[in-house]
Chain A
Amino acid sequence: MPRIIFFQPDGQRREVEAPVGSSVMLAAVQNNVRGIDADCGGCCSCATCHCYVDAAFLERLPAPEDMELEMLGGTAAERRPNSRLGCQIAMTAELDGLVVRLPDRQV
């Protein structure tokens, strides 16, 4: 099963397994990783699963759809070039070892 390495806002490193097809947001919630709110439950409506994807993985991810890009305009923490919404990143085998940093606030 592919792994995701989260860095929580407190700096703690959390390595979790995420089934293929599951989202980065869901992996965080199900493993009690701190720093993701996910208020809308993963339907790209709230922008509270904002995360920063490690540059080495950015190109391996499918490009964000328009809706995600538009919602990223509403993140509480600074939007950066590697900002994504965790609910819109589906895990694949190729993403094994994905490194994701979580911002200090989601609202």
Chain B
Amino acid sequence: MATAGARALVVVGASHAGAQVAASARAAGHAGPIRLIGEEPCLPYQRPPLSKGFLLGKVDAATLPIRAAAFYREEAIDLLPGTRVAAIDRSARTVTTAAGQRIGYDRLVLAVGARPRLPPVPGIALDGVLALRSLADAERLRERLPSVGAAVVIGGGFIGLEVAAALTALGKRVTVLEAQDRLLARAAAAPLAVHVAAVHRARGVDVRLRTTAARIDGADGRTRAVVCDDGSVLPADLVVVGIGVVPETALAAAAGLACTDGVEVDRFASTADPAVLAVGDCCRHPNAYAGRSLRLESVQHAVDQAKAAGATAAGRPTPYEAVPWFWSDQFDMKLQMVGLCAGWTHHVVRGDPATGRFSIFYFRDGRLLAIDSINRAAEHVAGRRLLAAGRSPSADEVADESFDLAAAARA
């Protein structure tokens, strides 16, 4: 029998979650080989700047890697870029790459992420219709910008709104189409969405709610206009699609692992097969904070769950219990969200929205669930501590600006 030290860890997917699993497994004492397999041809990199600073030209690709190549060498993490895994054989404990290479594992971690969902409308395959997930997507988008006068963003979620803000700042005419009756319908609560919509409109973004793209018209294979379901026609040299993602479950499902909108895992990120874990965007997990099973798409989730999974993979079972938090930068708004607001019944605004600096506190049955802060980082930071400690100031307390949130968080 092999010693624990010789056990081989294979991580499929080399983005935020995959890179962190590999690093955390090593840090937790995993002594055997670690292989980190990624489809993209580069070092694992930061995705959040792609829809913000990268489009604005403030961030270049050379600054995106999460860790330098030397990190993986020093940690004896064998990075296999440009490599797609085509199949998992759980009985033989091997993965097979698209090129036919078989790689054995004792522990396998799936960190395969998600892919952008595309609306099934005519013209979606035209040149000039782009989704934004990878560095290659962002480079294609950035290269195209000089020839873009008008752009249509399909989907009023975080990615779509970040792109809308960046394109507007670059002087493009931007329309955002959102099928729901408000922005951020999947990811945030209405009080925040109302403010965000007002800021976008004030900056010149044409935000159209309850509106979808019926088709995209082109000429010579290139995008020319988006025709909406209400018949309106929006000229568009560029169409950016941001209507959510589909978790990559095909590999896991083909290997007989349970998948329901994500690879199903327990609080240790383990699937029903204890040799296989899954982390990040691709997995559905019992979230300790929410008290139910869900899937999260965020850097915090990817990194924190990967830290727990890395320790678990190294033989130190560690549950994932972090409080979820997110951020988004749009125009001069730094949005920072902590907790999960699903099921909220009551909200309190702290500060004056007219100043552009305020927080929204969401409660259910008197219990604080989540805080959205707009240019109020101190309250976000205090909120992270409050929620992690399970503390809940009252609605009256948080509404009173003289109430010291930071002190309550330290108490």
Tell me if B299 is interfacial: C-beta within 8 Å of chain A. Answer: yes
- Residue-wise, chain A 65-104 has the 8 Å CB interface mask toward B (1 for contact) of 0010011011000000000000000000000000000000
Which chain A residues lie closer than 8 Å to B59 at the CB level? 42
State which residues 37-52 of A face B: CB under 8 Å: 38-47
**Alpha-carbon distance A40/B300, docked complex (angstroms):** 8
Q: Which of A30, A70, A71 has the most CB of B within 10 A?
A: A70
- Residue-wise, chain A 23-39 has the 8 Å CB interface mask toward B (1 for contact) of 00010011110000011
Which chain B residues lie closer than 8 Å to A47 at the CB level? 381
With A45-B334, A67-B377 as contacts: A29 and B384 at CB distance below 8 Å? no
State which residues 47-65 of B face A: CB under 8 Å: 48-49, 52-53, 59, 63-65
Which chain B residues lie closer than 8 Å to A70 at the CB level? 376-378, 381
**Alpha-carbon distance A34/B109, docked complex (angstroms):** 25
Which chain B residues lie closer than 8 Å to A40 at the CB level? 48, 299, 327
With A32-B74, A39-B303, A45-B334 as contacts: A74 and B385 at CB distance below 8 Å? yes
Q: Among the listed A29, A43, A45, A46, which residue makes an inter-chain contact with B65, where contact means beta carbons less than 8 Å apart?
A: A29
Which chain B residues lie closer than 8 Å to A32 at the CB level? 67-68, 70-71, 74
Q: How many residues of A contact B (CB 8 A)?
A: 21
Secondary structure class of chain B's binding surface, majority of residues:
helix
**Alpha-carbon distance A102/B376, docked complex (angstroms):** 26
**Alpha-carbon distance A60/B334, docked complex (angstroms):** 27
Contact A43 B53 (CB under 8 A): yes
Contact A29 B67 (CB under 8 A): yes
Q: What number of residue pairs across chains A and B have CB atoms under 8 A from each other?
A: 67
Contact A74 B384 (CB under 8 A): yes
Tell me if B372 is interfacial: C-beta within 8 Å of chain A. Answer: no
Closest A residue to B357 using CB positions: A66
- Residue-wise, chain B 11-55 has the 8 Å CB interface mask toward A (1 for contact) of 000000000000000000000000000000000001011001100
Q: How many residues of B contact A (CB 8 A)?
A: 32
Tell me if B336 is interfacial: C-beta within 8 Å of chain A. Answer: yes
Tell me if B281 is interfacial: C-beta within 8 Å of chain A. Answer: no
Contact B406 A73 (CB under 8 A): yes
**Alpha-carbon distance A29/B45, docked complex (angstroms):** 12
**Alpha-carbon distance A47/B303, docked complex (angstroms):** 14
**Alpha-carbon distance A30/B378, docked complex (angstroms):** 29
In the assembled complex, the CB of A30 is this many whole angstroms from the nearest CB of chain B, namely 5
Tell me if B329 is interfacial: C-beta within 8 Å of chain A. Answer: yes
Contact A41 B406 (CB under 8 A): no
Tell me if B96 is interfacial: C-beta within 8 Å of chain A. Answer: no
23 CB-based A-B contacts, threshold 8 Å: A29-B66, A30-B63, A31-B70, A32-B68, A32-B74, A39-B303, A40-B48, A40-B327, A42-B46, A43-B52, A43-B53, A43-B327, A45-B334, A46-B300, A47-B381, A67-B377, A70-B378, A73-B377, A73-B378, A74-B377, A74-B380, A74-B382, A74-B384
Closest B residue to A72 using CB positions: B381
Which chain A residues lie closer than 8 Å to B382 at the CB level? 73-74
**Alpha-carbon distance A40/B380, docked complex (angstroms):** 15
Which chain A residues lie closer than 8 Å to B49 at the CB level? 41-43
In the assembled complex, the CB of A17 is this many whole angstroms from the nearest CB of chain B, namely 14
Closest A residue to B336 using CB positions: A45
